[in-house]
Every structure is written in structure tokens, then in C-alpha cells.
């Protein structure tokens, strides 16, 4: 039976290397579409958790996962030799940056070694980890070809970028279009046929490198536009304008404008890192990716700007940062997730700790963080903790935080996300730009009394 036939009747075995934010939702989707899926991990806690039907990824529901495990459509293993039993293998391991901020390909390298020793005729290999344009063809293909098997006839090789958007209630693996590009036409066709089993819309492109570039365009687009709007906030501040008012008004234009919001910087595993994969590759081709670098400059300077804003707000109250109690609200890199990787809140905290502030944090999704060389346990967000802080800094606008209470009980707020409704503010509110809003002047004395 050929791989084509196995895809057509859904008897193909699917192996996913790396059961993280990307790999686990992918496993669940294909299991739910009737395919037997095995997850390959190096982390035994994750393997145990999956075998017990317990999810550790917020977007993957325990009940749905347990159903697939019980039905025998999902299992997990540390044993990489079992890759030889798989017909299709997706590589979903991390692609971080090294200390020198160059691509760290060690995880892909290690996954590739496992695939290489298990490769047999009839397998389709797909890299899903984000990487620079050319990696599938330049690094994976020559290595897999050393087995003596021929690509396009004995085995197939493609790149397909992962677009998962954690905590997005509208778009999941099934209804997010999937781009695929093979190292040859046969590989593109095989990969497209496979993904059509579990994903509604598959968009083939002419090469693996084009597919790699698609992902980098998407994330560079976000990084550049966030950089632009962050710079708008800085410019508005110089002009004495409130950037959020300006952006809200610009967004009423029904065409030709796409709304982005300023904030304390960029975070997560993708937006701050992926564009660097692109500029790194282009540096080797004697080309400077100017937009990428400029956006990085603006975005990575935002935590410093926030720390300065906190310092000058305290200064207005004749207080120094040193010794001030600062409560940072929301430390995940975006709303409604528990992921703090590259979160700008951690850098804001580090800068404030460095200046001698006593920093605590509150976040319903995160229990502990390591920032500024210290391990911090979360503080409960309450009337007491808000009122006890000399300054409350809002860095992530989770939807399950009572923002009105923040406005009501905090004396001084620096809100980098526009989360706190002005009407609720009884103290002083600063956003990323524009003059401070003095709640005491606008709120009825009775409300003030009730708040204190």
C-alpha cells in the first residue's frame, strides 16, 4: 500500500516530534479526524501527562484529549526508534535564539538525527518549526539524502509553517489555512494531501523556501506594525497627545488602515524571534533587513520607556523608584495565556528591580516568574494589594481581571495596554502617551470615599 493510499483511507500513522504549544494541538486535530497519532518527546513529564489523558496546553481540552487517548488514537513516547513505524512525521521542536542572538538550531538538529536514523521508504517528513528561508532544503534534505533514499520517490520532504494563535477562540488548527511547500513537486503534493485530512484549507506554494518565507513575512509584518504603532505612541507623547485616541479615530477608516495597539514591547516565542531568523539569513547574503532591525530597535526599547514613565509618575508624587512598592498586573506575553516566554513584562520588572523598587506581580494565569534575578510568587489582586502599591503597572490585559477594581483601588496606574476604564479611576492614570488623567477631579466624592 502506498502512502497516497494510506492517506486516502486514513490508515497512515502520524508522528509528531515535540508535544508543545504547536505539536499537541496538531496531534489532537489529526486524531479527531481519524488518524492514529504518536507524540515523540524528550520530556518524560509530558509523555506521562498525555498517556494519562491530561493536557498541559490551555488550548487543548482535557476531555477531548482523554477521549482520543482512550480510543487509542493518541499515544506518546520517549522512544525515537518508533519513528520508523510512522508514515508521516512533523517536526515541531523549538527554534530559539542563542546567547549571541543567532538562530539556535540544536533542537531541530537533534530531532533530525532521530528522523535520519529512522528514515525508511514511503515516509513524508514535514518541518513545522519556524526557521530561515532555505533551511529545509539546505540542512534537512542533504542529511536525509545521505541515507541513500531519493526524495520525491522514496521519501518526501516539505516545510509547513505553524500558525497556531494561543487562546484564539475563533481559529484553531482545523480552520486556520495551512501553507505547504515541498522541496520538489511530489513532496508538495504529498504534504498537501496529508494536511487536507485534518485542515479545511491547504495552500500549496512552489517550494519549501517560499513556505519558510511566508511565516517570516507574517511575523515580520506584525513586528513592523507593532514597532510603528509603538513609535506613534512615543511621538504622541512628545506632541502631548493620547495615542489611543488617535489610533481609535484612525481605525474608523473602513479601508487602507489596519489597527495595531502600542504596548510595553513584544513577547512570545514567535514575534520577537522569527524576524531575527530572516535578518540573520540575509546578513549572509550581504543584505541588511532594515525594517526588521528598526522594528526590533523600537520594540525592545519599550520596556525601558515604560520604566521611565513609572519613574517620572512617581517623581511627580515626590517618590523615588527605589523603595517604592510596584505591583505589575499581567506578566504573560499576551492576554489569556500562561506563557511568559520573552514577555516584555519581565524586562519591565527587571528594570524596576534594578532601580531598587519592591516589585510584586499579579496574574491569574501565571504563578511564578523569574525576573531581575529573583524568583517571584504571584500576589493576589485585591483591594488591599492594589491600595498598598505606590504604583500599579498594567502590562497584559487578561480578560478575566476586574479592571474597574484596578481603577477604583489603585492610587497611581501606568496602563500600557489601555485596559483600565477611565470612568473607574479614582487616582491618577497614565497611559503610554499623553497627559495624566486625574480621577480625583472627575469622580464624585462618594465614589472616592467608597473606594478608599
CB 326 within 8 A of CB 309: no
Q: How far is the CB of 209 from ligand NAD (least distance, A)?
A: 16
Residue 107 touching ligand NAD (CB under 6 A)? yes
| CB-nearer residue toward ligand NAD: 111 or 332 | 111
Q: Which residues are catalytic?
A: 270
| CB-nearer residue toward ligand NAD: 111 or 406 | 111
Determine which residue in the list 49, 55, 95, 160 makes contact with ligand NAD, applying CB under 6 A.
95
| CB-nearer residue toward ligand NAD: 43 or 154 | 43
3-62 positions binding ligand NAD, by CB under 6 A: 17-23, 40-43, 46
Determine which residue in the list 89, 92, 173, 413 makes contact with ligand NAD, applying CB under 6 A.
92
Q: How far is the CB of 256 from ligand NAD (least distance, A)?
A: 28
Q: Residue 169 is placed in which grid cell? A: 477562540
| CB-nearer residue toward ligand NAD: 340 or 426 | 340
Determine which residue in the list 166, 267, 372, 439 makes contact with ligand NAD, applying CB under 6 A.
166
The values of phi and psi at residue 76, to 5°, are -145, 150
Determine which residue in the list 137, 162, 231, 363 makes contact with ligand NAD, applying CB under 6 A.
162
Tell me which stretch binds ligand NAD (CB under 6 A): 105-113, 176-184, 387-395, 431-439.
105-113
Residue nearest to ligand NAD (CB): 20
Kindly state the greatest CA–CA separation across the chain: 81
Determine which residue in the list 38, 55, 130, 433 makes contact with ligand NAD, applying CB under 6 A.
130
| CB-nearer residue toward ligand NAD: 110 or 384 | 110
Tell me which stretch binds ligand NAD (CB under 6 A): 93-101, 200-208, 247-255, 282-290.
93-101
253-282 positions binding ligand NAD, by CB under 6 A: 269-270
Q: What distance, in Å, lies between the first and last C-alpha atoms of the chain?
A: 74
Q: How far is the CB of 90 from ligand NAD (least distance, A)?
A: 10
Residue 133 touching ligand NAD (CB under 6 A)? no
Q: How far is the CB of 382 from ligand NAD (least distance, A)?
A: 31
Q: Residue 48 is placed in which grid cell? A: 506521562
- How crowded is the C-beta side of 356, counted as CA atoms within 13 Å? 7
Name residues whose C-beta falls within 8 Å of residue 286's C-beta, 6 or more positions apart in sequence: none
| CB-nearer residue toward ligand NAD: 90 or 433 | 90
Question: Within 10 Å of residue 200's Cβ, how many Cβ atoms?
Answer: 12
Q: How far is the CB of 129 from ligand NAD (least distance, A)?
A: 3
429-448 positions binding ligand NAD, by CB under 6 A: none
| CB-nearer residue toward ligand NAD: 40 or 156 | 40
| CB-nearer residue toward ligand NAD: 42 or 405 | 42
Tell me which stretch binds ligand NAD (CB under 6 A): 87-95, 132-140, 281-289, 391-399.
87-95
346-385 positions binding ligand NAD, by CB under 6 A: none
Q: How far is the CB of 299 from ligand NAD (least distance, A)?
A: 17
Question: Within 10 Å of residue 38's Cβ, how many Cβ atoms?
Answer: 23
Tell me which stretch binds ligand NAD (CB under 6 A): 66-74, 104-112, 183-191, 346-354.
104-112
Residue 129 touching ligand NAD (CB under 6 A)? yes
By CB under 6 A, the count of residues binding ligand NAD is: 26
Residues of the shown chain interacting with ligand NAD in the complex, contacts defined by CB under 6 A: 17-23, 40-43, 46, 92-95, 107, 110-111, 129-130, 162, 164, 166, 269-270
Amino acid at each position: 500500500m502506498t502512502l497516497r493510499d494510506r492517506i486516502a483511507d486514513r490508515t497512515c500513522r502520524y508522528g509528531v516530534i515535540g508535544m508543545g504549544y504547536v505539536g499537541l494541538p496538531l496531534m489532537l486535530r489529526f486524531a479527531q479526524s481519524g488518524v492514529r497519532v504518536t507524540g515523540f518527546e524528550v520530556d518524560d513529564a509530558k509523555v506521562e501527562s498525555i498517556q494519562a489523558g491530561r493536557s498541559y496546553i490551555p488550548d487543548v481540552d482535557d476531555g477531548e484529549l482523554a477521549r482520543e487517548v482512550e480510543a487509542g488514537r493518541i499515544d506518546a513516547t520517549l522512544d525515537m526508534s518508533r519513528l520508523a513505524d510512522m508514515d508521516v512525521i512533523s517536526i515541531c521542536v523549538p527554534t530559539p535564539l542563542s546567547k549571541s542572538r543567532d538562530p539556535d538550531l540544536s533542537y531541530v538538529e537533534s530531532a533530525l538525527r532521530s528522523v535520519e536514523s529512522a528514515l525508511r521508504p514511503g515516509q513524508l517528513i514535514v518541518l513545522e518549526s519556524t526557521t530561515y528561508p532555505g533551511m529545509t532544503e539546505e540542512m534537512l534534505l542533504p542529511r536525509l539524502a545521505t541515507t541513500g533514499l531519493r526524495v520525491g520517490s522514496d521519501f518526501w520532504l516539505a516545510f509547513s509553517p505553524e500558525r497556531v494563535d494561543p487562546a484564539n477562540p475563533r481559529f484553531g488548527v482545523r480552520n486556520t489555512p495551512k501553507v505547504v511547500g515541498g522541496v520538489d513537486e511530489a513532496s508538495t503534493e504529498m504534504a498537501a494531501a496529508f494536511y487536507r485530512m485534518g485542515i479545511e484549507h491547504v495552500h500549496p506554494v512552489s517550494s519549501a523556501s517560499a513556505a519558510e518565507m511566508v511565516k517570516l513575512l507574517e511575523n515580520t509584518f506584525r513586528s513592523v506594525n507593532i514597532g510603528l504603532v509603538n513609535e506613534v505612541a512615543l511621538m504622541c507623547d512628545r506632541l502631548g497627545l493620547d495615542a489611543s485616541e488617535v489610533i481609535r479615530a484612525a481605525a474608523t477608516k473602513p479601508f487602507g488602515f489596519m489597527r495595531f495597539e502600542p504596548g510595553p514591547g513584544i513577547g512570545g516565542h514567535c514575534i520577537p524571534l522569527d524576524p531575527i531568523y530572516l535578518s540573520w539569513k540575509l546578513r549572509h547574503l550581504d543584505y541588511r533587513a532594515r525594517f526588521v532591525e528598526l522594528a526590533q530597535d523600537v520594540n525592545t526599547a519599550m520596556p525601558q520607556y515604560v520604566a521611565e514613565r513609572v519613574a517620572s509618575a512617581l517623581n511627580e508624587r515626590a517618590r523615588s523608584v527605589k523603595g517604592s512598592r510596584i505591583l505589575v498586573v499581567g506578566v504573560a506575553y499576551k492576554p489569556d495565556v500562561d506563557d511568559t516566554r520573552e514577555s516584555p513584562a519581565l524586562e519591565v520588572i527587571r528594570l524596576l528591580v534594578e532601580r531598587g523598587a519592591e516589585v510584586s506581580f499579579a496574574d491569574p494565569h501565571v504563578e511564578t516568574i523569574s525576573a531581575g534575578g529573583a524568583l517571584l510568587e504571584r500576589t493576589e489582586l485585591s483591594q488591599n494589594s492594589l491600595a498598598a502599591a505606590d504604583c500599579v503597572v498594567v502590562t497584559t490585559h487578561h480578560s478575566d481581571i476586574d479592571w474597574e477594581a484596578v481603577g477604583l483601588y489603585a492610587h497611581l496606574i501606568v496602563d500600557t495596554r489601555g485596559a483600565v476604564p477611565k470612568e473607574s479611576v479614582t487616582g491618577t492614570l497614565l497611559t503610554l502617551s499623553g497627559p495624566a488623567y486625574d480621577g480625583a477631579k472627575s469622580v464624585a466624592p462618594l465614589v472616592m470615599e467608597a473606594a478608599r
